Each structure stands twice: as C-alpha cells, then as structure tokens.
C-alpha cells in the first residue's frame, strides 16, 4: 500500500502509451467493473414496431427513461434494422398493413440470433378469436392498446427476465 502517492512522483510518463498498453492487455475471463457507481450502465433495448406514429411516440415516451428505444413503422422496416439494432425485446403491433405482426414475428424468429428474442404483441382489437390466434403463435406476451404504463413496464421486465420465454400476460 502506498501512503503518500503523488502523481508528480511519476515524472514524465507518456499517458497515451500507457493507455494503449492497458487496452492491449489480455485480461482473459477477468471481470473488471469499469463503472463502479453505475453511472454508465448498459440499458436494455426495446424495439417498437407499429404503423401508427402516435402509438410509436406514446410508447417511446413511456419507455425512454428506462430503456434504449428503437422505432420501426412497419414489419419490413423492423426486419431491415433488427440485425443492426439488436434489441433485447420487441413490442410488435398485431395488425399492420402489408406485413402483419404474425408474419413479422415469423420472419424475426427465422433470423439467426433472434430465434428466442422476446416478442410482445400489441393490439387494439379486443376480439376473442384474434387473441386466441395471437396466443397460438407463442409470443412472450400480449398487451391491449392503449397500453397501461405499469402493465407495459412489468411485461417488458418479465420478458427481459424470462429464460424460456413463457407467455406473459
């Protein structure tokens, strides 16, 4: 232990060289906590896929303080960007033009690395047949629009914590 350490005792050290040496060190499996006070922790990323701009804005405003949020206004757009964005969970509108939620979900799950990504369906239709059809696809969850903030947050948290992606509703 050094009792009276002073940076001036180091003399003329090339800090750039030292920093480069540290970056190049092989630390193996050592877990180094670079942010012990939690001020720069990684946040989970939520992708919201909905054709309604108002819904996208509303859900983003509910989540942006807790999660990194990525928006896609169609199933096709979601498929274009999912590989670049690597979300941790997808909130997916069930009823969209061109490519509906179930088809989008199927394509997402066919992508390598996204086979088990938690997908939560969002829908404004409270129809028993549609709910039954949606649940048959085995999404991680199912929420009715308009979304209640507490239910949304708890569903996302449960989806993120689910190991086997059991249905959450």
* DSSP SS3 for 35: coil
| Mean pLDDT computed over 41-46 | 83
Residue 10 lies in a domain: no
List the domain range (segments joined by +) for residue 70: 45-161
pLDDT in tens, 73-115: 999 999 999 999 999 999 999 999 999 999 999 999 999 999 9
Does residue 2 register a pLDDT over 50?
A: no
Does residue 21 register a pLDDT over 90?
A: no
Greater confidence (40 vs 141) lies with: 141
Residue 135 lies in a domain: yes
Residue 36 lies in a domain: no
Does residue 136 register a pLDDT over 50?
A: yes
Residue 146 lies in a domain: yes
At a CB cut-off of 8 Å and minimum separation 6, what does 43 contact? Answer: 66, 67, 68
Residue 155 lies in a domain: yes
Q: What is the CATH number of the domain that holds 80?
A: 3.40.50.2300
Residues in the chain, overall count:
169
Record the pTM.
Answer: 0.71
- As for how many domains the chain has, the answer is 1
Does residue 32 register a pLDDT over 80?
A: no
Does residue 117 register a pLDDT over 90?
A: yes
Residue 168 lies in a domain: no
């Amino acid at each position: 232990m050094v009792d009276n350490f002073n940076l001036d005792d180091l003399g003329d050290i090339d800090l750039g060289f030292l920093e480069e040496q540290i970056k190049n060190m092989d630390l193996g499996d050592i877990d180094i906590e670079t942010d012990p006070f939690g001020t720069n922790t990684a946040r989970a990323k939520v992708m919201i896929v909905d054709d309604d701009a108002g819904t996208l804005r509303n859900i983003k405003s509910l989540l942006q303080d807790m999660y990194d949020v990525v928006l896609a206004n169609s199933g096709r757009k979601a498929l274009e960007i999912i590989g670049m964005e690597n979300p941790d969970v997808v909130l997916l509108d069930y009823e969209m033009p061109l490519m509906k939620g179930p088809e989008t979900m199927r394509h997402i799950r066919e992508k390598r690395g996204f086979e088990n990504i938690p997908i939560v369906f969002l829908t404004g239709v409270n129809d028993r047949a549609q709910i039954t059809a949606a649940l048959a696809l085995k999404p991680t969850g199912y929420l009715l629009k308009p979304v209640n903030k507490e239910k949304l947050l708890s569903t996302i948290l449960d989806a993120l914590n689910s190991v086997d992606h059991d249905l959450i509703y």
